[in-house]
Amino acid sequence: MQEKQSIHGSWANRWIFILAATGSAVGLGNIWKFPYITGENGGGAFVLVYLVCILLVGVPIMMGEVLVGRRARQSPINAMREVAKESGHSGKWSLVGLMGVMSGFMIFSFYSVVAGWVLYYVAGMGKGDFVGVGSEQAGAIFNNLLGDWQSLMIWHTVFVVMVMAVVAGGVNKGLERATRVMMPALFVLLLLLLGYSMNTGHFAEGWNFLFKFDVSKLTWDAVLVALGHSFFTLSLGMGAIMAYGSYMPKKASIGGTVMTIAAMDTLVALVAGLAIFPIVFANQLDPGAGPGLMFVTLPVAFGQMAGGQLFGFLFFVLIGVAAWTSAISLMEPAAAWLVENFNMSRKVACVLLALTVWGLGILALGSFNFLSDFTIFGMNTFDFLDFATANIMLPLGGIFISLFAGWFVKKKVSLDELAMEENNLFYLWYISIRFIAPVAVSIIFAINLYQKLV
Ligand code: PHE
Ligand code: NA
């Protein structure tokens, strides 16, 4: 039998797949979101739950997504339909892919706003606006930015266009090229910053905050946030990794690549935390400060350090690049689907998608200024989009994908795609995806729902 190929192209080799998927995974979730939600949820105990979720829920589900994508070699919506039919089930499974595309739009809209902040900081650092700033000044600069909807709009627009340009280029000339250059550079710069933070004299405080497991601080709310974040950070539950898997070479082993991607993502999050918290404590800032945490601490650190203007500039450039490679994977599933189903050129598809996420993004950025009085379930639009996707839609998508891969895809198909024998390793995955992942996610959902209602 001839090997099936995606009409969109394929990664040159397994390392490109690892790099591209790591580019999707490593993003604002690691450098911006992980430190601030860890801060809000009291540190160590939260980190422990997060790590357990990555291992027991994230890794098996990521394997499931890659296997379904690679089997069908189509966009997630069509892949779910195809693989369901191949195994003798209803094509309605494509609805899970459709929900994923919607989650992707919603994530993109607030992601792009934060990426816009990053771009503003790139410009600010470059101009030297942060040289010598203390924490109060840095806080004021950030708050002024939030209040200025025109600046937010400009940077949000720039980011959407950047993403659109790459996705329009296609898998090889767009995605692959964009991914492989900047990931190693990001890693090097993160280590440099870590080196700096180790010299603030408060490294131990930061370390303890992250790794001292004080279980008494744990609430069911925090567990839900940790679970949701494990989906968000690994780009799971919405089809991004499934789409990337559909371009994966047949020969590559799914288990090994997925473990590598998850390990790199986790490493970057922990290093980001180790870089940021010592600076927080050195400057008597509040670790629970919320979304602004990184945008206040880092400028303070760079503002004081020798060569800080240059390093700060480079560092925000690299956060921007990390956000860029992630947002590309937010747009790719929908773009591939439009090309497959509507006979549309990739360029036209990308323009349509960009306009949609751009519009939604305006609602998100308005939360900080012209829409600040508007709330949904007591949250502003930005928080609502974040909460609804990370804590509800992605875990829900994850439950469906795990049930699908675990119970509906034929065992023979899974064995074949995972290139595995029926050995203990296979059964470890099989038990995780059939029982552990869906049951754990459902229980955490149920408890949170119960607590909200009672
Ligand atoms: N994983 C990305 C991050 O951590 C966010 C993302 C979520 C990207 C879902 C794609 C899909 O920043
Ligand atoms: Na991530």
249-304 pLDDT per residue, tens: 888 889 999 999 999 999 999 988 998 888 888 888 889 888 988 999 889 888 88
CB distance 326 to ligand 1 below 6 Å: yes
15: CB partners within 8 A, 6+ apart = none
* pLDDT tens, position by position, 39-72: 999 899 999 999 999 999 999 999 999 999 999 9
CB distance 350 to ligand 1 below 6 Å: no
Nearest ligand 1 atom to alpha carbon 265: 4
Q: What is the largest CA-CA distance in the chain?
A: 66
The candidate with the shortest Cα–Cα distance to 315, out of 125, 445, 152, is 125
Which ligand lies nearest the alpha carbon of 27? 1
Q: What is the pLDDT of residue 149?
A: 97
Q: What is the pLDDT of residue 253?
A: 87
- Mutation test residue for ligand 1: of 28, 117, 232, 325, the one with most atoms within 8 Å of CB: 232
CB distance 32 to ligand 1 below 6 Å: no
CB distance 25 to ligand 1 below 6 Å: yes
Q: What is the pLDDT of residue 1?
A: 43
The candidate with the shortest Cα–Cα distance to 303, out of 126, 128, 118, 132, is 132
Q: What is the pLDDT of residue 186?
A: 75
- Domains, the chain, ranges and CATH? 14-453 (1.20.1740)
Number of C-beta neighbours around residue 311 at 10 A:
19
Which ligand lies nearest the alpha carbon of 110? 1
CB distance 135 to ligand 1 below 6 Å: no
Ligand 2 centroid – CA 115 distance (Å): 14
Whole-angstrom Cα distance, residue 332 to residue 93? 20
Which residue blocks in 305-375 are alpha helix, DSSP H?
308-342, 346-366
Q: What is the pLDDT of residue 289?
A: 87
CB distance 268 to ligand 1 below 6 Å: no
CB distance 261 to ligand 1 below 6 Å: no
Question: Which residues of the chain register pLDDT less than 50?
Answer: 1
Amino acid identity of residue 287, one-letter, is P
The candidate with the shortest Cα–Cα distance to 242, out of 392, 29, 432, 71, is 71
Nearest ligand 1 atom to alpha carbon 237: 9
Q: What is the pLDDT of residue 2?
A: 52
Q: Read off the tokens for 216.
A: 């008494």
Contact indicator for 309, 242 with CB cutoff of 8 Å? no
